[in-house]
Amino acid sequence: MCRQFLELQSLLRQIQADSLPAPLFDQLHPEWQKELERHRDLIDSIDLFLRKREIAPSHDLVFRALSNPIASTKVVIFGQDPYPTKGHAHGLAFSVEASVSPLPPSLRNIYKELYSDLAIVRTLGDLGDWQEQGVMLINRILSTDIGQSMAHSKSGWQEVTEAVAQALGKRNVIAVLWGNTALQLNKHFSPEDVVSSVHPSPLSAHRGFFGSSPFSQVNTKLVAKGYKEIDW
């Protein structure tokens, strides 16, 4: 504990000298800072861990999904962990930089189902416009090492993102849960607010993701709550 405290103090001095990115906790929207304050020690510990590695997404984008006010979130889509390919992950689950081509297989399958469901064609991988409309795209594990999936699965991220799910569930946010990792959060949401299926990965998409019509399901639930539909 003493060693970790000294490392944190050294880190803060380097940050103050503008030689390192801001602390992770400071990158949260103030509303999320308040909500996650009880997890601050864990987040600071993860911050130290990440600064010693080459990670995806970049350090300044790890909390991009939590950069908006809580009240602006109408829908949350949970992923597993970031794309490990350098230059792909940019802080939003399933999303990639607009310049990325070809698209990752899971995202291609999401777009196939979007077309089947609502006849919408998307070609670029950046889902930032979904976030702007109130769709939170967040992974259960918010970082990984470049080139290695699930490298940070034991870093403590699940505790943080479970707290996020609890906060959103209390606010009756619609939860899109794809795959077993996301379905672990089912208990935090009312059954009528959940849209679920297997993961869109090529390994599982044909076992229930294709044909599940998640996008129209979400919009139907939003309208029932008096909200505007998402323009997917």
Active site residues: 81
The backbone torsions φ and ψ at residue 174, rounded to the nearest 5 degrees and listed phi first, read: -75, 130
* Contact status, residue 161 vs residue 189, Cβ threshold 8 Å: no
Structure tokens at 23: 């602390």
- Count, residues in the chain: 232
